[in-house]
Amino acid sequence: MQRILFVCLGNICRSPAAEAVFASRSRAAGLALATDSAGTIGWHVGEPPYGPMIAAAARRGYDLSALRARQVTLADLAAFDLVFAMDRSNLADLAALRPAAGTAELRLYLGQGEVPDPWYTRDFDAALDLIEEGADRLVARLGTT
């Protein structure tokens, strides 16, 4: 089973939303995948996603309430097949953390684009639009391989 990890800064907005959206979309497409999310920093470890992101996701039918923030580990970079960073800064942090024996493929979630952090922009719906777009692209790609 392919394992996919979504990573943002604190694991309270973008990456838990990406985990939930992608899990929903991949299940609907009949794909058997394992998903998780993490943050590059540990400021929010153990906390639920940010309230406004939970509310925005719930309006679209995604339940983030059971998720809890965690920090990405060296073991993640060996255990997961694909690790998607929400922005270039997250990607650089992951590349710096990855051990020589790390086997995970590190990628920017939207290819060349980034998902702006709604913690700062306050635009949770725009972030979810991009996350849904990325999930649909990823499901389509994985469904043909």
**What ranges do the domains of the chain cover?**
2-143
Would residue 98 show up in a list of annotated catalytic residues for this protein?
A: no
Q: Which one from 8, 70, 93, 98 is the annotated catalytic residue? A: 8
DSSP character at residue 77: H
Contacts of 104 (CB under 8 A, 6+ apart): 5, 76, 77, 78, 79, 80, 81, 82, 83, 98
Q: Which one from 13, 14, 25, 98 is the annotated catalytic residue? A: 14
pLDDT score of 145: 58
Would residue 14 show up in a list of annotated catalytic residues for this protein?
A: yes
pLDDT at 12 > cutoff 80: yes
pTM for the predicted model, two decimal places: 0.96
CATH code reported for the domain at 2-143 = 3.40.50.2300
Would residue 8 show up in a list of annotated catalytic residues for this protein?
A: yes
Read off the pLDDT of each residue in 110-115 and give the average, rounded to a whole number: 90
